[in-house]
Structure 1
Amino acid sequence: MNDKTLDCSDIDRFLGKPIQPGRTREPIAGNDIRRWVQGMHYPNRLHYDDGFAAEGRYSRIVAPLSFPVACDDGHGTAPACVGLIPNSHLIFGGDEWWFHGPRIFAGDRIHNERIPLDYVVKDTKFAGPTCFQRGDNFYYNDRGDKIATQRSTSIRYRADLAREMGGSKDPQDDPEWTDDELRALEDRKFEWIKSLHDLGHGKRWWDDVKVGDKLPTRVIGPHSIASFTTEWRAYLFTIWCGVIRRTDLDMEALGFTDDFAGKEQDPVLELENPEMTDGAYIGPSRGHLFPRWARRIGMPRAYGYGASMGAWILDYFAGWAGEWGSLLHTNCSYRGPALCGDISIMDGSVTDKLIDEQGRAVIKADFKMKNQLGATMATATAEIELPKR
């Protein structure tokens, strides 16, 4: 293609029509939950320590609110990635979540109903004409309980234009951290972990929260190819035959460039040569773990997963609310990736408190994630129900 257009017309025929569901192959195991919180850097003992969890609200280990996306077969982006866009690639743009009350425990089977919603094309400095596409995910357990709704936004763009326009302006070399700086980072991380310990099984009362209160700072990183790989393997679909595969997924039919149109998640090839279907090595996901491939799609070096960034945000709010609080709704926008060698610094504050029309004691909060240079990586808002005295 010599012009600078982005043909999205094929998307129209998919809008409003359900696509194949995402389905776990086996019941969720306790170690699936433990592997998830370990991969997401979320040391909340409620989700991995049997003894601690047994003394709490649920009397057993419960999955964190971020866990539904681990049960999907594509980070929740499947309904936001339908239709042919020639010579394109995809990154995550954001997620909006609604939580309906039921929680996930070991023994549950999870499935995800999915419907493409809409799209809009905007001009960006990153890649020129860019498609912002949305789709809805509805997560259920095997008893028919609706657990969560996720409205996912994907960003689809022409990789050649991203390279031509310079893509990300970040340097290609990882930043260097001294031993003293790394030790200081570990201290900062532990301050947030201690805030989880301090709350323990206690209740964060709505009555005690004030508008303007600051939430504890959370730090993750420095990110590395090792940490990104650990995140990748926490998603059940990255395990060979870990989920029931879709039969309607074709990367070439989506218009992915040749370098990234491998047979990732192909259910037939998976049985013959699963390494060819493993997105860590071949296919559209390999840009996360290999700098060479990252640069092919406009990224300067290896970079993290948008769905993981979303999980960090959900865990941040839910960890502050505690096990007696309920995260009702979040709206998250991803502005820039977690690049290899960088750190992610998360801060939030209470912006409002109210009793809603259902009589729930609710606080509203906002959120910002930045890297060590002050560049904004993500923003979010949340509504959280807290217990009232």
Structure 2
Amino acid sequence: MSEKKTENKISDEFEKATNYELTDHDIERARLLIGIDLACRDKEQITKITEDNIRTYAQGCGSDNPLFVDEDYAEGTRWGGVFAPPIMSGFVNKPMLGDPIPKEIKDQTKSVFRGIHAFISGGEWKFYKPMYPGDTIYSFSGETDLEVTPSEFAGRKVTRLNRSVKMNQRGEVVAEYTYRLILTERKKAREKGKNLSIEPASYNDDDLVRIDELYANDNPRGGDKLFFEDVAVGGALTDSVRGPLTVTDVVNFHAAGYGWVPYGLRTGRMWHKNRQRIAPFYVKNEMGVPDVAQRLHWDSSWAQAIGNPRAYDYGVMREHYLYHYLAEWAGDDGWVVSMYDEIRKFNYMGDVQFVKGEITGKRVENGQCLVDISVSMINQRDEETVRCTATVALPSKEHGIVMLPEAAPETKRRAVEMLARHRELMAAKKA
């Protein structure tokens, strides 16, 4: 097929896929969902933690930290064996039964924001407990807020804030994640075309030597215990790097467990069935084959059709990279308590992210020795693509080992209630 015909096919499919607008009606309907917590019925690729999927997850994030990938090593740490870092709970879920959304609200919010381009621009994680092999993970979630603001890229944007509470089979809260979901009109984003002029990255041998040196010098601290008393405000973390981004990185992240729900990447008969279920999610490619709109993360021609110069990562990928950067700095005896990040720029295929961290504060609260850290990811164009603030707990020569933080009492109570209701409904279903 000629280049001109390919362009025309993509353009035609783009027009069909972008006849969806952000309307005031949809915005007001979406506000009805704020404050409603619902049991998550999604069945992720992973529902139960195993040593194998912990290792696959860590490696999909580019981490060979022995705490997560080496059973023999992990047995000698305070944890007694390998565990899944709580941020992995974003990839893990077993369907949980719960009371449905009130019918009147369900009817009023049906197909809200249908066909609108959506992406995650960061969020806030709070981490409470490790997940061990054998643990099953459930969750409940709900909208907490909705904001409408101007967008330089797409006219205006809607930001939906959603909190997800992750818990194990004992009703213990493992983590909380409040993410920002950005919704924009694909057509307006393309018309702006602001990003199309961004040149692709290019590397010579000297560039690759610099990147390799950063990787070689950034290793997990492991059992080399870092004490609270040994760090100072203004001190720097080890410089690191992630990338250059390739399609292989995206494939590995999917293999780690991400991106399979709620829409789904499907093959063969399952592809056919999924198209019947969510037809607007499928847009024909240059060969006339219906493929997922999600492919903008690996298909540059489709990414260009919606206003970007080439395919780009999931912002979530950089969140997980940041977690491992912090965890590896803290060592086996430290604990990442929380992190808040803002995804400020796209990370396009070929882009590299240079990672820098600085200690901005330290304090003792209720016997916990906490270190506040600022982290940035800066690409080869010297643009800050991610800004992150985090809190890490470190062991102390005076105060002793790190004690794991606890979720708020109301969150813990709600988790126990939701799991109890799930079991009640399961028993009724089996009766």
Same fold flag (TM > 0.5): yes
Q: Deviations over 1:177-210 (max 9, x none)?
A: 22342233122112112xx1xx321321001110
1:169·1:300 contact (CA, 8 Å) conserved in 2?
yes
1:65·1:315 contact (CA, 8 Å) conserved in 2?
no
Q: Which residue of 2 aligns with 1:94?
A: 122
116, 131, 144: which one pairs with 2:158?
A: 131
50, 63, 69: which one pairs with 1:29?
A: 50
Give 1:48 shift: 0.4
179, 192, 207: which one pairs with 2:218?
A: 192
User: Unaligned regions of 5+ residues in structure 2, if any?
Assistant: 1-17, 95-108, 283-289, 398-431
Shift in alpha-carbon separation, 1:272–1:132, aligned structure 2, 3 A: closer
Give 1:385 shift: 1.3
TM-score by length of 1: 0.82
Q: Which residue of 1 aligns with 2:35?
A: 16
Shift in alpha-carbon separation, 1:265–1:66, aligned structure 2, 3 A: same
2:347·2:385 contact (CA, 8 Å) conserved in 1?
yes
Shift in alpha-carbon separation, 1:340–1:170, aligned structure 2, 3 A: farther
Q: Which residue of 2 aligns with 1:257?
A: none
Q: Which residue of 2 aligns with 1:146?
A: 173
Q: Aligned pair 1:201/2:223, yes or no?
A: yes
Q: Which residue of 1 aligns with 2:428?
A: none
Shift in alpha-carbon separation, 1:150–1:3, aligned structure 2, 3 A: closer
Looking at structure 1, the residues matched to 379 and 325 of structure 2 have their Cα atoms a distance apart, in angstroms, of 16
321, 341, 344: which one pairs with 1:335?
A: 344
Q: Report how many residues are paired.
A: 353
Shift in alpha-carbon separation, 1:301–1:23, aligned structure 2, 3 A: same
1:14·1:82 contact (CA, 8 Å) conserved in 2?
no
1:65·1:318 contact (CA, 8 Å) conserved in 2?
no
**Secondary structure in structure 1 of the residue aligned to 2:342:** strand
Q: Which residue of 2 aligns with 1:55?
A: 76
234, 240, 251: which one pairs with 1:212?
A: 234
Q: Aligned pair 1:105/2:132, yes or no?
A: yes
1:23·1:112 contact (CA, 8 Å) conserved in 2?
no
Q: Which residue of 2 aligns with 1:252?
A: none
Looking at structure 1, the residues matched to 203 and 277 of structure 2 have their Cα atoms a distance apart, in angstroms, of 35
Shift in alpha-carbon separation, 1:388–1:6, aligned structure 2, 3 A: same
Q: What letter matches 2:34 in structure 1?
A: L
1:1-389 alignment to 2 at 5 Å?
6-7=23-24, 8-21=27-40, 22-24=42-44, 26-72=47-93, 84-85=112-113, 87-100=115-128, 102-171=129-198, 174-193=200-219, 196=220, 199-235=221-257, 238=260, 264=264, 270=270, 282-356=291-365, 358-389=366-397
Looking at structure 2, the residues matched to 152 and 99 of structure 1 have their Cα atoms a distance apart, in angstroms, of 14
Cα RMSD, aligned residues only: 3.0
Looking at structure 2, the residues matched to 277 and 189 of structure 1 have their Cα atoms a distance apart, in angstroms, of 44
Shift in alpha-carbon separation, 1:103–1:170, aligned structure 2, 3 A: farther
1:42·1:315 contact (CA, 8 Å) conserved in 2?
yes
Q: Deviations over 1:311-345 (max 9, x none)?
A: 11111212211121121121111101221001011
Shift in alpha-carbon separation, 1:237–1:224, aligned structure 2, 3 A: closer
Q: What letter matches 1:135 in structure 2?
A: N
Shift in alpha-carbon separation, 1:144–1:265, aligned structure 2, 3 A: farther
Q: Which residue of 1 aligns with 2:103?
A: none
Looking at structure 2, the residues matched to 28 and 232 of structure 1 have their Cα atoms a distance apart, in angstroms, of 17
Q: What letter matches 1:89 in structure 2?
A: H
1:28·1:107 contact (CA, 8 Å) conserved in 2?
yes
Give 1:117 shift: 1.0
Looking at structure 1, the residues matched to 232 and 178 of structure 2 have their Cα atoms a distance apart, in angstroms, of 30
Give 1:20 shift: 4.4
Shift in alpha-carbon separation, 1:282–1:320, aligned structure 2, 3 A: same
Q: Deviations over 1:192-243 (max 9, x none)?
A: 12xx1xx3213210011100000111201111112111112211563xxxxx
Looking at structure 2, the residues matched to 141 and 338 of structure 1 have their Cα atoms a distance apart, in angstroms, of 33
Give 1:355 shift: 1.1
Give 1:365 shift: 0.9
1:69·1:307 contact (CA, 8 Å) conserved in 2?
no
**Higher helix proportion, which one?**
2
Looking at structure 1, the residues matched to 307 and 93 of structure 2 have their Cα atoms a distance apart, in angstroms, of 27
1:14·1:83 contact (CA, 8 Å) conserved in 2?
no
**Secondary structure in structure 2 of the residue aligned to 1:215:** coil
TM-score by length of 2: 0.75
1:127·1:158 contact (CA, 8 Å) conserved in 2?
yes
Structure with greater Cα Rg: 2
Q: Deviations over 1:333-387 (max 9, x none)?
A: 110122100101111100111112x221111111111101111111011111111
Identity of aligned residues (%): 24
User: Unaligned regions of 5+ residues in structure 1, if any?
Assistant: 74-80, 239-244, 250-262
Give 1:87 shift: 4.6
